[in-house]
Amino acid sequence: MSLLDQVDGPARLRGMTADQLTELAAEIRAFLIERVSATGGHLGPNLGVVELTIALHTVFESPRDRLLWDTGHQSYVHKLLTGRRAGFERLRKGGGLSGYPSPAESEHDLVENSHASTAVSYADGLARADAYAGRTDRSVVAVIGDGAMTGGMAWEAVNNVSGADRPLVIVLNDNERSYALTPGGVAGHFGDLRSRGSAHSVFEQVGLAYIGPVDGHDIAALQEALRRARDLRMPVVVHAVTEKGRGFVHTEDNELDRGHAVKPMDPATGRPLSSSSGTSFTAVFGERITEIAERREDVVAVTAAMLEPVGLLGMQKRFPERVIDVGIAEQHAVTMAAGMSMGGVHPVVAIYSTFVNRALDQVLMDVALHRRAVTFVLDRSGVTGDDGPSHNGVWDMSVLQVVPNLRIAAPRDATRLGELLEEAVAWEDGPTLVRFPKGAVGGDVPAEAVFSGVDVLRRSGPLDVLIVSVGVLAGVALGVADALREQGIGVTVVDPRWVAPVNPGLADMARRHRLVATVEDNSRTGGVGATTAQAVQDAGVTTPVRSFGVPRRFLDHGSRADVLSLCGLTVQDISLSVSEALAAIDGGSEDGEWDGELARMSTAEEK
C-alpha cells in the first residue's frame, strides 16, 4: 500500500517520518499528474504547493485550526490530505469534487474561495471572533498567492491586522505568478526579498512579523517556519518561495502559465486528448480588437491578470505598449480606464464576467456617471459550468442593467461579436459593454430581416409568440420555434443585439403578439426578461411576458449543458412552458399587417 493510500485525514501525516513525507510528496505529484490530466483542472498551481500543504497539515490541526486558500484553485493537495481522494475521479464534474474549497464537501473547507485577495480578510474576521470569545487554543492561517497580493483588498486586510495582538498566520505562496507573471511593484519587492533577505520587508514596515524567505519545497524548513509563526501568537507573514508546475515537464516548460489550468491531456506528451471544438469567442475577440487597434491609435486594452485567457496576447505582440495588465485589481483597472478616457484614449477593459462584480462601484460612479467612453468586454459570461458557482457569469446583465448611460450588447455568433465590438468602440457618448460565453462560437445565425433595429431570426405562422433571444441562446430559441411550429403555434424569434437600453421596437412587436418569451443565459432576477417586461408595460402594452433564464441561486459545478438543463434552458422545457402559457391566454392576434411590413425589410435595407 502506498503512503497516499494510507492518508484518510491530516492526522495520519503527523505520525510520518521526514523521509516518508518526502515520499508522500512524490506520490501526490504523480497522482495529480495522472488524475488532472484525465479530467482537466488547475494542475500547475497544485504541483507548486505539495510540500507547503503537507507542512501546513503537520504543523496545524485542521479543522480545529482553520486553513483558508487564496485563491482556492491551489487546494487540490489539501483535498487529498483531508480524505477526498475518491472524488478526483469526477473532479469538476457533476457529483464529483469542486475545483475549489467547498464547505459542502468537508469540514476542512471554510469558504468557496475562488475570487482572489479575500483570505486575509476572512482570517482577520475569524481571529477577531476567537478573541471576542476568549478562545486561545487554535490558529487561523491564510495561504495567499503572490499574485493575489496585487489586489487592493489584500492590503486593506494587512492594514487592519498590523499591530494586532491576536494570532494570525499569513502564508505568502510566492511563485511569481497569478495566471502569468505577476506585474507591478509588489512583485518587484517580493523579488528583492527573495534575493536579498528580509531586512526591508514591507510587512515589517507596517507592523507585521515576517519569516522568510523559506524554500517552499523543503518540508522541514517549512515546518520550522510555520511552528515559529504559530508560536508567536500574533499576525505574522511566512514567505514561502515555490515553483508553479513543479515536477512535471509539460508545466515546467510552459513559460506562459506553467500549466495553470489544463484540459484533459496525454501526460506523456502534454497534448490535449481531444481536438479543439472550434474557434472560441475569446479568439474572435482577440482578432477583432487587434484589427480595430490597427485602425485606431487611441484604442488601448486593459486586463486584470488575465492577458491570455481573455484573448489579448495577439494585440500585446502587435502593440505591446497598448496592452496593460494591472494584476488582480479590477477596481483600479476600471477607474484607470475612466481616467484614460478623460485623456483622449478609448480603453477596452477585458475581464471575466464574474470579476466585473468586484468593480460595480467604479463602473457606476467613475465611468457611467461621467459618461466616459470605456468599452467593457466580458468573457466567460453566462453558464461556464465546471468551475462552479463563483465562476458562472450569470449576474452581469442583472447587476449592470441598473447603470445609467451603459449600453450592453450580447452577440449570438462570431459575426455579431465583430459587428457589436465595432459599434461599442465607436460609441463616444458613454460606456459600452459586450459580453460573450466560454467556448466555441459555432456557426453564424443570420437574420432574415431587421425591424426597428432588432434582428428577426425567424417568422412563421400567426402572431402567437414573440421570442426575444439573448446572445448565444439563439440556437435554443430557434429550436423552441421549430417545436412550437409543429404544434401549429406561430412564432417570431428576434435578437435585439443591444439588450440595454431596451429597444422601443420590442414593445411594438409585443403588442402584435399574444405572448412574449425571453430566453437568456443570465439570472432571471433583474435580467433582460425583467427589463423587457418593464419596457412593455411602460409602453402600455398588455401582452404577458414570460422570462426564461437562470434561477436565483448558486449553480453547482458540472458541464455547461448539464447546468443549462437543470435551469430549464432547453428546447423541450421552454417549448412546453410556452405552449402551456399560450393555452391559458384568451383572445387572438392581429391581422397580417406587420407581416407585410416585415417582409419588405431586408437586413441590408434596414442597415
pLDDT in tens, 347-393: 999 999 999 999 999 999 999 999 999 999 999 998 887 777 778 88
Cβ atoms of 243 and 44 closer than 8 Å: no
Output the pLDDT for position 224: 98
Sheet holding 407-409, edge to edge: 323-325, 299-303, 346-352, 375-379, 432-435, 407-409, 498-500
- Where residue 199 falls among pLDDT bands split at 50, 70, 90? low
Active site residue 12: no
Which of the listed ranges 85-94, 197-206, 585-594 does the model predict with the highest average pLDDT? 85-94
Output the pLDDT for position 316: 97
148 is in an annotated binding site: yes
Given the residues 35, 79, 244, 438, select the one marked as catalytic: 244
Q: Does position 256 have pLDDT exceeding 90, yes or no?
A: no
Q: Does position 605 have pLDDT exceeding 60, yes or no?
A: no
Of the given ranges (321-335, 339-353, 553-567), which has the lowest mean pLDDT?
Answer: 553-567
114 is in an annotated binding site: yes
Of the given ranges (294-303, 386-395, 424-433), which has the lowest mean pLDDT?
Answer: 386-395
Q: What is the pTM of this model?
A: 0.91
Distance of CA 52 to the CA centre of its chain: 26
Cβ atoms of 83 and 106 closer than 8 Å: yes
Output the pLDDT for position 37: 92
Given the residues 358, 435, 497, 546, select the one marked as catalytic: 358
Output the pLDDT for position 119: 95
Output the pLDDT for position 163: 86
Sheet holding 140-145, edge to edge: 66-70, 140-145, 168-174, 235-241, 209-215
Evaluated on CA atoms 345, 350, 353, 356, the torsion sign reads: negative
Q: Does position 274 have pLDDT exceeding 90, yes or no?
A: no
Q: Does position 173 have pLDDT exceeding 80, yes or no?
A: yes
Active site residue 244: yes
Non-local (6+) Cβ contacts of 580 within 8 A are: none
- Average pLDDT, integer, range 223-244: 96
Q: What does the alpha-carbon distance between residue 506 and residue 526 come to, in Å, rounded to a whole number?
A: 18
The pLDDT tens digits of the residues spanning 55-78 come to 999 999 999 999 999 988 999 999
- Where residue 196 falls among pLDDT bands split at 50, 70, 90? confident
Give yes or no on whether 3-252 and 449-606 have one common fold.
yes
Q: Does position 589 have pLDDT exceeding 60, yes or no?
A: no
Output the pLDDT for position 197: 67
330 is in an annotated binding site: yes
Q: Does position 599 have pLDDT exceeding 90, yes or no?
A: no
Average per-residue pLDDT for the chain: 91
Q: Which numeric CATH code is attached to 449-606?
A: 3.40.50.920
248 is in an annotated binding site: yes
Q: Does position 489 have pLDDT exceeding 70, yes or no?
A: yes
Output the pLDDT for position 146: 80
- Where residue 602 falls among pLDDT bands split at 50, 70, 90? very low
Q: Which CATH number fits domain 3-252: 2.60.120.10, 1.20.1560.10, 3.40.50.970, 3.40.640.10?
A: 3.40.50.970
Q: Does position 412 have pLDDT exceeding 70, yes or no?
A: yes
Domain limits, the chain: 3-252, 281-435, 449-606
Q: Which numeric CATH code is attached to 281-435?
A: 3.40.50.970
> Are β-strands 299-303 and 323-325 bridged in parallel, bridged antiparallel, or unpaired?
parallel
Distance of CA 121 to the CA centre of its chain: 21
**Residue found under cell 422601443:** 504
What does DSSP assign to residue 328? S
- Where residue 198 falls among pLDDT bands split at 50, 70, 90? low
Output the pLDDT for position 249: 86
Q: Does position 588 have pLDDT exceeding 60, yes or no?
A: no
Q: Strands (DSSP E) along 461-530, which ranges?
A: 465-469, 491-495, 498-500, 515-523
- Where residue 558 falls among pLDDT bands split at 50, 70, 90? confident
Active site residue 330: yes
Output the pLDDT for position 71: 86
Output the pLDDT for position 478: 97
373 is in an annotated binding site: no
Centre a 10 Å sphere on the Cβ of residue 268 and count the other Cβ atoms it contains: 9
73 is in an annotated binding site: yes
Non-local (6+) Cβ contacts of 180 within 8 A are: 256, 257, 305, 307, 308, 325
Q: Does position 596 have pLDDT exceeding 70, yes or no?
A: no
Output the pLDDT for position 406: 97
Of the given ranges (80-84, 178-182, 230-234, 494-498), which has the lowest mean pLDDT?
Answer: 178-182
Given the residues 92, 330, 438, 546, select the one marked as catalytic: 330
